[in-house]
Amino acid sequence: MMNRKMSLLLLIGVLAFVSAAAVVQAPTFTFKFRNLKLPIPGVKYAIPNGINNSGVIVGGYVDQSNVQHGFIVAGKNLTTVDYPGGNGTTCSGINLHGKVVGYYLDSQTNPHGFSYKAGIFTSIEPVGSTASEASGINDKGEVVGFYQDSAFNTHGFLLKGTHYKTLDVPNAHSTQAYGINNGGNITLTWNDMNGQSKSALYNGKNYKTLHVPGAAKTQVSGINNLGDIVLYWWRTQGNSHGALLHGGTYYNFNAPNSDGTYSYGINDHQVIVGVYNPHGGAQAVDFRATY
């Protein structure tokens, strides 16, 4: 009969083998960067916030008069998006059907969410909100974002059809939703009662903390239909770094020659968009990265 010591040794060996196999099976990603070279004339700087599976990119740019505009870029074709009467517009997300979400600023610089397609704007503002931003949209047309109530509290929201659902991470002082995939998984950033910023993934029932190992602060951004998530993070001091969460493992990346990398959008074809700060304090530069 096998004694307990022998059984324990065999069990340790099995666990070590399983652990080693898991390490071997983890993918190795090489992140390849290039500038987007967005076809926007007279731009001071542009920030790409989202990319769909057709490669269409949305975001915001500032012109030489310091006016902020939303943009949609499909190949070499540019569509500028300006909310009627707005004091500045930003596009945040786009789905496969070309529907865009974002926000505009009113005369008091308060943001208000909207959706846009083929020249038609639709307001996105939960009842009782004093300000709102629409941040992400999936191929089903479900929208996430966040809003401020009359007591100046910030809540995330999910919009399905005409129904708004408030999203509040338990014990959070404020919650902001940024991305949603076709499975209904939602990425959120929230502040605890001490004002510390944290990130989470919500599957419709539970909130799971997202935290890059070694980071003092983790900011989550987009999520694709494969469950890959892009984030950016900081140590206690220093520059920001990009990160990809794939299969439960975090993969860090930095744009070449950068003093800070910010990853915002991701599609199902392993394409990430964002910006980086080049060495020397020059203006932020947009990027497209594959992995």
Q: Quick one: pLDDT at residue 25?
A: 62
DSSP-based three-state secondary structure for 137? strand
CA distances from 104 to 18, 60, 68, 89, 149 (A): 52, 11, 9, 4, 18
Q: Quick one: pLDDT at residue 238?
A: 87
| Residue pLDDT, tens place only, 53-70 | 999 999 999 999 999 999
| Residue pLDDT, tens place only, 71-95 | 999 999 999 999 999 999 999 999 9
CATH number, domain 31-290: 2.120.10.30
CA distances from 5 to 15, 17, 19, 236 (A): 15, 18, 21, 45
Residue type at 188 in one-letter notation:
L
Residue ranges in the chain whose pLDDT is less than 70: 1-25
DSSP-based three-state secondary structure for 252? strand
Q: Quick one: pLDDT at residue 4?
A: 36
